[in-house]
Amino acid sequence: MKKLAVVALGGNALLEAGQKGTIDDQEDNAYKTADRLTVLLKRDYNMVITHGNGPQVGNIMLANAAGNKLYNVPEMPLDICVAYSQGFIGYIIEQQLRNVLKANDMDRDIISIITQVLVNKDDPAFKKPAKPIGPYYTREESERFAEEGGAKFAKDPKGRGFRKVVASPKPLVISNTKSIEKIAREGHIVIAVGGGGIPAFYVKENKLQGIDAVIDKDLASSLLALKINADKFFILTDVPKVCLNFNTPQEKTIDRMTIAEAQRYLDEGQFAEGSMAPKIRAAINFVENSGKDCIITKTTLLGVDDGGTRVVMV
């Protein structure tokens, strides 16, 4: 039986910092990412792909606001914007992956699944928005937008500017996990839990409703990996390895760390919220509850033997 991998793509897999976000940019980035994913397929992995949507959902919200202001088009709530992003990002990844598969004389079906994720409407995250979305702004721009619209902004830990932050509740239940696992284990590639999933809750018994939030895609991907009994969990980001004392003269890369070490570094504040911290929590969750490894690395190092940081049980 082939092994099953869940691969969580960072937002930079489609849109890198500094890019305008044109369709050409996103297709080119998606092709490069898809090309690297074939390394796992050639190593006899079946695959479920998840992806971020921070830049894209922020741009959708900007377009929403502009359409409302200029043409009185009704603005859509954040859960609908997440659904929009799942559809078009899934389409781009699927299309470029098909192009890559053809170039490598490989043949697999690729299925994109619009995915709802159940959250608790009373999650404390709704009182402390912390999940960054959308483009980067200067301090002056962020202060002006905050004053005009009441949005909250936070400084990017890598010094790229300021981004809008929204609530990011904990994912509790992912829809259609049985089907996702079945399709993937049959050898097809599944794209699911885009942007962490569309956040929803039961407003009353037997009635689901969306809620204004963005779920962290790494935490949701970790939960999905557990529910479908994945053999390996890859978290792809824009740095080769996890670092201690990041972006300082004392910076040190980590090749391997146990979940106890990872938790200690988290408690020490080594990993920034909105950046590496959620990835570390997701890795701990998967390893602790599965006993299997998680690898955090840069897309270009996927499948490289000594590439990335391996998070292990002990």
pLDDT at position 55 is 86
pLDDT at position 65 is 85
Distances (CA, A) of 76 to 57, 59, 70, 151, 195: 12, 13, 15, 16, 17
**Cut 0.95: pTM above it:** no
Highest mean pLDDT among 8-12, 61-65, 140-144, 273-277: 140-144
Q: What is the mean pLDDT of the chain?
A: 94
Catalytic residue list = 11-12, 131, 217, 279
Q: Using 50, 70 and 90 to split pLDDT, how confident is the model at 116?
A: very high
Per-residue pLDDT reduced to its tens digit, 161-204: 999 899 999 999 999 999 999 999 999 999 999 999 999 999 99
Domains of the chain plus CATH, in order, are: 3-312 (3.40.1160.10)
Contact (Cβ atoms closer than 8 angstroms) between residue 79 and residue 199 = yes
Write the DSSP symbol of residue 305. Answer: T
pLDDT at position 159 is 87
Which residues sit opposite 166 in a β-bridge? 131
Contact (Cβ atoms closer than 8 angstroms) between residue 280 and residue 219 = no
Which residues sit opposite 191 in a β-bridge? 49, 112
